[in-house]
């Protein structure tokens, strides 16, 4: 059986927390965001997402 979207969302929220947003760039057709995330083991990474 496939987990529900809500159950999957809760699992993801527990696994990663947003530490800060280091970039937010808006254009007419795109918003680019850069965030530092921390996983459940305390490791920090930086990601960019559109």
Instruction: List per-residue pLDDT tens for the chain, 50 residues long.
Output: 566 777 766 666 667 888 999 999 999 999 999 999 998 888 898 888 87
Q: What is the model's pLDDT at position 33?
A: 92
Residues 37/9/15/36 CA torsion (nearest 10 deg): 0
Residue 43 and residue 19 in contact, taking contact as beta carbons nearer than 8 Å: no
What pLDDT shows up at residue 1? 54
pLDDT at 42: 87
Query: For the whole prediction, is pTM greater than 0.85?
Result: no
Give me the pLDDT at residue 13, please: 60
């Amino acid at each position: 059986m496939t987990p529900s979207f809500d159950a999957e969302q809760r699992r993801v929220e527990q696994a990663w927390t947003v530490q800060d947003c280091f970039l937010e760039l808006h254009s007419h057709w795109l918003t680019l965001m850069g965030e530092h995330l921390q996983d459940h083991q305390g490791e920090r990474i930086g990601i960019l997402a559109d």
